[in-house]
């Protein structure tokens, strides 16, 4: 009996995968995390610009619950990706590509929240859960959510 079995847990079953396949899987997850970060930032920057007229790093750090140096590093990545523009000691602005991504993210968020609400999930929980789900839902699944919502 394994240690896990003796503690009343399900035994761990090893998956027999080639190292290259496993490495590809981990690379995909790392890329997804990079995309998730970019999406969270551009969505928040767009919201701050709409509600406050500008997006400053200190506000981004506050809203995301991270330290300002983390925001600075991630803004540099977004700038290199062509999603934001910034001048020293100024607010951060979205490029056209950043605005397009922000709109895609907002739409995806709205659909996921609406779908969760249609399942009877309370608004607070739906909003919180949508933050995680929206980054990982495929276009096919999102369309299925919309079709289901339009049936009601």
Structural domains in the chain, CATH included, are 21-95 (1.10.10.10), 99-151 (1.10.60.10)
> What's the whole-model pTM score?
0.73
Mean pLDDT throughout 63-71? 95
Task: Write out pLDDT tens, residues 26-41.
Answer: 665 556 556 888 999 9
- Check residue 32 and give its pLDDT: 52
CA distances, 33 to each of 36, 74, 124, 132 (Å): 5, 12, 24, 11
Instruction: Mention every residue, 6+ apart, whose C-beta is less than 8 A from residue 57.
Output: 68, 71, 72, 75, 92
CA distances, 107 to each of 39, 87, 101, 114, 147 (Å): 12, 29, 10, 11, 15
Task: Write out pLDDT tens, residues 50-62.
Answer: 999 999 999 999 9
42 and 105 Cβ atoms separated by less than 8 Å: yes
Q: Where are the beta strands (DSSP E) in 45-135?
A: 84-86, 92-94
In the numeric block, the tokens 């847990």 are attached to: 9
Please state whether beta strands 92-94 and 84-86 pair in parallel, antiparallel, or not at all (unpaired). antiparallel
């Amino acid at each position: 009996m394994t240690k896990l079995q003796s503690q009343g847990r399900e035994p761990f079953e090893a998956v027999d995968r080639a190292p290259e396949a496993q490495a590809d899987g981990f690379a995909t997850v790392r890329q997804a995390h990079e995309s998730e970060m970019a999406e969270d930032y551009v969505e928040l920057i767009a919201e701050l610009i709409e509600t406050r007229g500008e997006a400053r790093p200190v506000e981004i750090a506050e809203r995301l619950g991270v330290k300002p140096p983390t925001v600075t590093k991630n803004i540099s990545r977004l700038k290199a990706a062509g999603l934001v523009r910034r001048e020293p000691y100024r607010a951060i602005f979205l490029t056209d590509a950043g605005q397009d991504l922000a709109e895609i993210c907002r739409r995806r968020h709205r659909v996921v929240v609406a779908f969760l609400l249609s399942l009877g999930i309370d608004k607070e929980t739906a909003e919180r859960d949508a933050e995680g789900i929206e980054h990982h839902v495929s276009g096919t699944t999102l369309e299925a959510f919309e079709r289901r919502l339009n049936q009601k």
